[in-house]
Amino acid sequence: MPARAYWTGQIRLALVSIPVQLFSATKSAAKVSFNQIHKPTGKRIRYEKVVPGVGKAEADDIVRGYEVEKGKYVLFEDEEIEDVKLEAKRTIDLVQFVDEDQIDPVYFDKPIYVSPDDDEVAGEAYVVLRDAMKETGKVGLGQIVIRGKASIVCLKPHGKGLVIETLRYPEEVHKADQFFADVPEVEPEEELKTMAEELIKRKVKPFDPKAFKDPYDAALREMIEAKLEDRPPEAIDEPEVGAQVINLMDALKKSMSAESGKGGASKSSSRKTAAKSSSSQSKSSAKSAKGKAAAKSDDKGGEKKTGSRSRRAA
């Protein structure tokens, strides 16, 4: 395995149990992070726990508190909180299956890779469950306990394997109505919708995450390299900021024109080449025609002159 599993247990569907291991699907270390440094000495800043008006707090005197009102706390010892933590059953019971599009995307939180345990029987059961979910088009819902806390999980096929996505509880999600209250109740013109649909169709292509870069992270890394090499940092290309839309129809037309220009550059150049070629052919044909006409004219003229001379001679 490329990494160490942070949870081992089993997925249970009715009487079927499948031993599995869980691996984090994301990397937090991929982003640039900074420490606070004391500039005169170059040493890292450390924080001490201090009580205002009292001074440094001893570790044995620190407890946890829940603020019930400003400045008033209910206090808890670590042991009391530990007693409340759920026992890790090491089992994910799949209690329900649904269509994935029935789950609002705002509930999805964190992806986790699910790998079968190092066991031939477990591997076969794992594949059976994966393929059955693919065929039915369903995802499984259950709960998992990690570090004493329960999370809702959504299990679904992912390539050759399975992936779990933890879900937020309803109380963790804001109701959308308050944020969409100012969305106008209007029926857009049909032409506007048609143009927008066409613009979307022109930009449809397979998803490739490598096509997207983080310009801020790239700029930070370039700045770090520049400081290490004692040179000015190179400029990093940033995406252009679009102008404020004043006339939606004009904006859509300009967007369509720009997209047509991107896709039709080679076509237009070939058209220009073809046009030049036909133009040159036309010119050469015209010259040829003029040459033939002039030759005929000379021949006729010659015949007339010869005829007149022969008459005079006669």
Per-residue pLDDT of 90-149, as tens digits, reads: 889 999 999 999 999 999 999 999 999 877 778 899 999 999 999 999 999 999 988 888
Start-end of H helices in 117-214: 120-136, 190-202
- Position 244 scores a pLDDT of 59
Q: Where are the domains of the chain?
A: 7-30+85-176, 190-263
Across the strands, what pairs with 151? 144
pLDDT of residue 245: 55
The answer to whether 150 and 93 have CB atoms below 8 angstroms apart is: no
- Taking CA atoms, 11 is separated from 20, 117, 119, 144, in Å, by 7, 11, 14, 10
Question: What is the per-residue pLDDT across 90-103, written as a single tens digit (0 to 9) for each?
Answer: 889 999 999 999 99
Contact 143, 59 (CB under 8 A): no
Report the pLDDT value the prediction gives residue 273, as an integer from 0 to 100: 36
**Residue 282 has what pLDDT?**
41
State whether CATH 3.20.20.210 applies to domain 7-30+85-176.
Answer: no
Rg (CA), the chain: 38
Positions of the chain with pLDDT lower than 70, given as ranges: 1-2, 29-30, 86-88, 236-246, 262-314
Reported as a single tens digit per residue, the pLDDT across 150-175 is: 899 999 999 999 999 999 999 999 99
Please give the pLDDT value at position 86.
Answer: 66
